[in-house]
Chains A and B, each alone.
Chain A
Amino acid sequence: MNWLISNFDLVVGLTVNHIRLSVVPIIVGFVVAVPLARIAVTGRTARAVIITSTSLLYTIPSLPLFVILPAIIGTKVLSDINLIVALSIYAVAIMVRAAADAFTSVPVDVKQASLAMGYSRWQQFWRVEFPLAGPVLLAGMRVVSVSTIALVSVGVLIGSQNLGYLFTNGKQRNILEEVATGIVASLLIALVFDLILVLLGRLLLPWNRKNGSRSAQADSVRLPITVGDVG
């Protein structure tokens, strides 16, 4: 524990920065993916185009994406913006698929009933589809959160200051405790974020508590990588 005690400030600083870098992509993932997914479920063509294109983006390995982005968006190679944009792209890719599954899971007869009761399409979305899709959306967000936090550390290879620094620095100086600290800190952030999401789910989706086992919903999130144009 010696290393950790004498470098505690460094670890805290890197952890804060790690969180800062993770939060934006997670939120962007949700905000961008939900409307995209809602459009995707309107028809076969829309679905094919949106799901296929996002899953293709998802196929690009992270480090290459980090260094390709500057050429497209005009940032500096070592800028944190590359990292945030790349992670947002991955978050959207995971979430679009999950959100499309979420909207598909809303029973058709419930939607028809709401229209028959005189809801407008807009009301139908906000009062029926969105809340009913909530549990599966939540499961998707948990996947997005965990994977984003794990991915941030790769950013150290393009000069970002986050927990990944403990990996490269620990390897260079041959301090195993430093690398292990980085792994544990990263896992802890992921765990805390997951707990926050679950609590948010409890607060916002109170009806979900009785009937749903969370693991069953998490199962129903299938990830874009297996999708392609196959399914």
Chain B
Amino acid sequence: MNLFIDAFAWIFDPANWVAGAQSPLPIQDRLAEHLLYTFVAVLIAALIALPLGFYIGHTGKGRQFVISFTGGMRALPTLGVLFFLTMVLGYSMVSTTANFLGTMIALVLLAIPSILAGAYSGLESVDRQTIDSARASGMTELQILVKVEIPLSLPLIVGGLRSGVLQVIATVVIASYVGLGGLGRIIASGIGLNDYNRILGGAILITALALLVDGVFAVIQRLTATPGVGGPADTGRSAVRRQAQRQPATVGTPNQERE
């Protein structure tokens, strides 16, 4: 356990938080970069994936395509995709721009499947009778989507965002390891300096960040559940869903989350 005590001592060493410290310090700058990359990538991915997911979930069209797309993305090695994109872009622009842009494209691509799956499976989980009665009471398709389907499926939509965010946080670690800013730089420089306190300190910081963000999203998922309708934890609800014609769909893509 001594190793952990030393690593925590490294994390809480004020010298590592002083502005202007030697790269990859100070810690707060790397943390800010990490969060910024994650935020931008997830925002772009959500702008693409949410409308598409709502369309697929509402109409039921293109579902098979999304399932195979998500499955295919899962098999891609993130590290390879990251390098491939930055190298291809590097042929036509300065390397720093190519690294940044290539990484961003990779992050967005990796975040899209989870967010997409969350959106369409969320919409599919809404009770068909509820939608039919909304239609019967004169709502337009757009009203059904905005006033019935999206509010009822918010926990699953947020769930998709949650796995997308975690996956991007994990991928930024790899991206920063290979040159971009972010917390992964701390591990990289620790390995370079053969300084295990720094390696472990960086790893603990990233883990804490991931768990914290996961916890925040867990709370949001709870808060967005419609009272009475119940979230996924509601047994009565899941019994209804099990009898529904359409299957609940895969949310999240494990390998991408990891990297």
List chain A positions with a Cβ less than 8 A from chain B: 56, 58-65, 67-68, 70-71, 77, 90, 94, 143-144, 146-154, 156-158, 163-164, 166-168, 170-171, 174, 176, 179-180, 182-183, 186-187, 190-191, 215-216, 218-226, 228-231
Contact = CB atoms under 8 A, between A and B. Distances in A.
Nearest to A184: B80
Contacts of B217: 228
Given A179-B83, A230-B218, A64 B202 contact: yes
Contacts of B214: 56, 59, 228
Interface in B235-259: 247-259
Contact of B259 (A61, A163, A191): A61
B162 to A, nearest CB: 6
A67 B199 contact: yes
B254 A147 contact: yes
Which 8 pairs across A and B sit closest by C-beta, in order of nearness? A231-B232, A147-B255, A61-B170, A64-B203, A150-B255, A226-B159, A147-B254, A223-B252
Given A223-B163, A223-B253, A230-B231, A150 B74 contact: yes
A167 B259 contact: no
B252 A226 contact: yes
Interface string B70-90: 010011111111011011101
Contacts of A64: 173, 187, 202-204, 206-207
Contacts of B258: 61-62, 90, 147, 151, 154
Given A59-B166, A225-B162, 12 more contacts: A77-B191, A150-B77, A154-B77, A154-B258, A163-B77, A164-B79, A167-B80, A186-B77, A187-B76, A220-B248, A225-B114, A225-B257
A230 B79 contact: no
B192 to A, nearest CB: 12
Given A153-B80, A154-B78, A176-B84, A63 B163 contact: no
A219 B3 contact: no
A62 B191 CA distance: 16
Contact of B166 (A71, A151, A179, A225): A225
Given A146-B74, A183-B76, A157 B177 contact: yes
Contact of B254 (A63, A90, A230): A90
B147 interface: no
Given A64-B207, A71-B7, A225-B166, A150 B76 contact: yes
Interface residues of B, number: 70
B203 A157 contact: no
Tell me which of A63, A94, A225 has the highest count of chain B C-beta atoms within 10 A of its own C-beta: A225
Interface of B: 3-4, 7, 64, 67, 71, 74-81, 83-84, 86-88, 90, 114, 118, 155-156, 159-160, 162-163, 166-167, 169-170, 173-174, 177-178, 184, 187, 191, 196, 199-200, 202-204, 206-207, 210-211, 214, 217-218, 221-222, 231-233, 247-259
A166 to B, nearest CB: 8
A221 B118 CA distance: 13
A223 B250 contact: yes
Tell me which of B4, B90, B252 has the highest count of chain A C-beta atoms within 10 A of its own C-beta: B252
Contacts of B75: 146, 149-150, 186-187, 190-191
B83 to A, nearest CB: 4
A38 to B, nearest CB: 19
Nearest to A189: B75
Contacts of A94: 254
A93 B138 CA distance: 45
B1 to A, nearest CB: 9
A228 B221 contact: yes
A65 B249 CA distance: 29
A68 B200 contact: yes
6 contacts: A64-B203, A166-B80, A167-B83, A171-B86, A182-B77, A225-B251
B255 A63 contact: no
A146 B73 CA distance: 10
A183 to B, nearest CB: 4
Given A151-B255, A215-B67, A230 B87 contact: no
Contacts of A144: 254
